[in-house]
Amino acid sequence: MFYAIISQDREDSLTARLQARPDHLSRLEQLRDQGRLLLAGPHPSIDSEDPGPAGFSGSLVVAEFASLEAAQSWAEDDPYIHAGVYQQVTVKPFKRVLP
């Protein structure tokens, strides 16, 4: 089943986010290579493809996991968690309808 991992950044997290980004992307690439990643990306803090110093307000990952517990465990081990980027993470079942 797919699960949505919806993360909210803490204030002034851009520096920590940029430092942890390579490790964060590596984990996402593993999901992609396993055919389990539906989509992933950040939420810019402003209405811009490149928010610059405004940074990001959070992230969304939709991926396939064996269970809600497995998705939560994966989310809890995110490098952004360890770096203090995220202040809150919500994991919810996701039912893909379209496309």
> Any idea how long the chain is?
99
Give me the pLDDT at residue 89, please: 98
Q: Which amino acid is at 54?
A: A
Confidence (pLDDT) at 25 = 98
pLDDT tens, the chain, 99 aa long: 999 999 999 999 999 999 999 999 999 999 999 999 999 999 999 999 999 999 999 999 999 999 999 999 999 999 999 999 999 999 999 999 998
Predicted pLDDT at 7:
98
- Cβ neighbours for 64, distance < 8 A, ≥ 6 positions apart: 1, 2, 3, 36, 37, 38
- Residue 1 has which token pair? 């089943």
Q: Which residues of 40-69 are buried (b: 16+ CB within 10 A; e: fewer)?
A: bebebbeeeeebeeebbbbbebbbbbeeee
